[in-house]
Amino acid sequence: MAGNMMLDSNNDIIIGRGVTRISGAAMVAQLCKNRLLTLLGEWKQDEDLGLPWFDAIFSKRVRPSDIQAAVASILRGTNHVRQVISIDINADYRARSLTISFVAISDFGDISEIAEWQQTSTA
């Protein structure tokens, strides 16, 4: 099985001598995290991929259970994820930030990851 390139702490591709390939459980965890951090419609090859961060996640009427259901759907739809064990959502609506931590079972073993999303000012 070919591996993906490991990303740095900012989820950017490492170019040059630091390039590392990952596979197995680490690859699945990275795929899950990146899918969770993708804006809905951002990727033109699959505009259904991602979370509606602006339209729903940080809207005034969103319920935590709705966020958890959307996250679970993304995780279950990720290649090699067999089962989602737990999802923890920590939202700060004033700061418009959200931390998602999850544990899942993949084809390669247990995975856990934390995805943090923070809306930045464009002004």
Query: CA-CA-CA-CA torsion for 48, 49, 53, 56, nearest 10 degrees?
Result: 40
Q: What is the CATH number of domain 4-118?
A: 3.10.450.40
Cα(101)–Cα(123) distance, integer angstroms: 30
H helical segments located in the chain: 24-37, 64-76
**Is 29 within 8 Å of 75 (Cβ atoms)?**
no
Q: What is the pLDDT of residues 1-51, one digit of tens each?
A: 456 888 888 888 888 777 888 999 999 999 999 999 998 888 889 888 888
What's the whole-model pTM score? 0.86
Indicate whether 122 pLDDT > 80: no
Q: Quote the mean pLDDT of the chain.
A: 87
Kindly tell me if the per-residue pLDDT of 92 is higher than 60.
yes
% pLDDT > 90, the chain: 46
Extents of the domains making up the chain: 4-118
